[in-house]
Amino acid sequence: MRTTYRMRAGRFLGIAAVGLILLGVAAVLWAFGVPGAVVAVFLTLGGLVVLAGLWILARPPVLLKLGPDDVEVRGVRTAWTDITAVEQGQTTQGQAIVLRTKKAEHSVLIPLQWLAPDRAAKLEDDLRERLNAANGYTIWDGTAAEPGDPAE
């Protein structure tokens, strides 16, 4: 089963705002008597940008997909068996979830400011659960092992 996490929609509010600005420019140009073709270009462009902005706000871009065998972050796939740890770290983008891989230079960063605030903790839990499942780990329930069950 694949789980998809999308970027925080508020990051793209500026696109719709630019469209509204273009529509405002069209209104000002019309008020000053600029030829109708110029006003029509600004109206059309502004309307298209507003529609695109609303579309992106309704359906933000995919940030990452968690699959049974791999994790895909911004189009780059990494197998769960290549990931060694999930932790939080500080980056130039602020706080991020870091997926440490077997090769230190290939670590994957997921800036938390790109996610909706309520999704960050869920994502971190999901990542840890899938990493544990991929490596065959289970959460210790606090009981002792059975006598015939050797430690791994």
- Average pLDDT for 42-68: 94
Q: How far apart are CA 27 and CA 49, in angstroms?
A: 16
Instruction: Give the per-residue pLDDT at 36.
Output: 94
Domain, as residue range, for 130: 75-135
Residue 45 in this model has a pLDDT that exceeds 70: yes
Q: Is residue 20 part of a domain?
A: yes
Domains: count for the chain: 2
Tokens 């960063």 sit on residue: 109
- Whether residue 147 lies inside any domain: the answer is no
Q: Are 124 and 66 in contact (CB under 8 A)?
A: no
- Strands annotated E in the chain: 3-6, 62-66, 70-73, 76-79, 83-91, 94-101, 108-111
pLDDT of 144 > 70? The answer is no
What CATH number should be reported for the domain holding residue 102? 2.40.50
In this structure, are 131 and 84 located in the same domain?
Answer: yes
Enter the pTM of the model. 0.73
Interval 83-92: pLDDT, tens: 888 888 898 8
Most confident of 17-21, 70-74, 80-84, 85-89: 17-21
